Amino acid sequence: MTYPDVYRAAENRHDQLPTARCGATGLVLPRISLGLWWNFGDDRPLATQREIIRRAFDLGVFHFDLANNYGPPFGSAEKNFGRIFAEDLRPYRDELIISTKAGWDFFAGPHGIGGSAKYLMGSLENSLRSLRLDYVDIFYSHRPDPDTPLEETLRTLDLIVRQGKARYVGISSYSADQTLRAQEITRELGTPLAIHQPSYSMLNRWVEDEPSLLAACAAAGMGTIVFSPLAQGLLTNKYLVDDPASQLTSSRAGSSLTADMLNEHTLTRIRHLDAIAKERGQSLAQLAISWVLRDQGEQTVTSALIGASRTSQLEENLAAASRTDFTDDELDAIEHYAVDSGINLWAEATKSTAGS
């Protein structure tokens, strides 16, 4: 069954969002990209997903980010996006940047997780079928794998590009040292890494720690696209209520955020950040996105990944792309409350050291 109306993209779509070049490559990304992590599984109406994706593209979002295990259930986000792509977006394929990843658990058995050649190649072939694509624009190693030699993972990424199954390759949640080593290997292979996808927010600032991942990416000529800029939803008005813990069950992050993360110290910081946002004429979510995209010189983030469960939320958050300017006073005020709050749920992945 096809969707009842024919989609025609807005003619001014490429005038809606600022863009940025991705590191030392020719790849250009919108400053805000749409991630399909949680709101595009089989538990959400396909019509709602279609409405969000259409609206995003009309508003200048031409990058859609997926992974093999996005859903729920695993794999459903790719299948749902594949259907919407086939029915709505196929005429615009050359304008689109579509990315996917493999590294976390997906298949059953010993080759259903990690960074082995068998898993990465098999997962990507499965993803291409689900997405109804001949190639993806970016394919990521979703995490470092301590049980697979780093060289094996990176040789596989190189092979994927050479086979035409991806235009660019990247990594996600690798540490600064791992990133520099990975780029050294891929340069020798002839397919340098184009991009890194780490978590980053005002409450999760590990990428700035020494050794700085942002600095490592800049030195390696890689762009950065950050996920969870809203700190799993903490940096929204959802938890600015009398009983914030009561919101966990209905939150998109309900399976990962815990009540102890909503402690009074963190909530106090969030309330102060909300006050700063109001002074700027922004929502707290807009402030959070604008802040990760702020000018940091060579270490400026290329793009921020956002999710959306409805078009109004999408529109609100996309408005942050035009407000990445901050006064020194604003940055100083934010710095006082933008403190790591123990919500880097992917911290253990970056501590892994792949074998050699």
pLDDT of residue 209: 95
Amino acid, res. 233: G
Q: What is the pTM of this model?
A: 0.94
Strand partners, 93: none
pLDDT of residue 258: 72
pLDDT of residue 248: 65
Closest-CA residue to 229 (of 288, 154, 163) = 288
In the chain the domains, ranked by start, together with CATH numbers, are: 17-351 (3.20.20.100)
Closest-CA residue to 67 (of 101, 104, 115, 105) = 101
Residue 43: exposure state from Cβ atoms within 10 A (0-12, 13-18, ≥19): exposed
Closest-CA residue to 2 (of 75, 90, 70, 77) = 90
Helix, strand, or coil (residue 156):
helix
Contact 301, 225 (CB under 8 A): yes
Per-10-residue mean pLDDT, the chain, length 356: 76 98 98 96 97 98 98 96 98 98 93 96 98 98 97 98 98 98 98 98 96 98 97 89 63 57 88 98 98 98 97 98 98 96 74 48
Show the beta-strand stretches assigned E in the chain.
19-21, 28-30, 32-35, 63-65, 97-102, 136-141, 166-172, 195-197, 223-226, 303-306
pLDDT of residue 260: 72
Q: What is the C-alpha separation between 186 and 181, in angstroms, rounded?
A: 9
Q: What is the C-alpha separation between 189 and 222, in angstroms, rounded?
A: 16
Q: Any idea what DSSP says for residue 201?
A: B
Q: What is the C-alpha separation between 334 and 261, in angstroms, rounded?
A: 20
Distances (CA, A) of 320 to 14, 35, 99, 317, 331: 17, 16, 23, 6, 16
Residue 255: exposure state from Cβ atoms within 10 A (0-12, 13-18, ≥19): exposed
Per the listing, tokens 């700085």 go with: 212
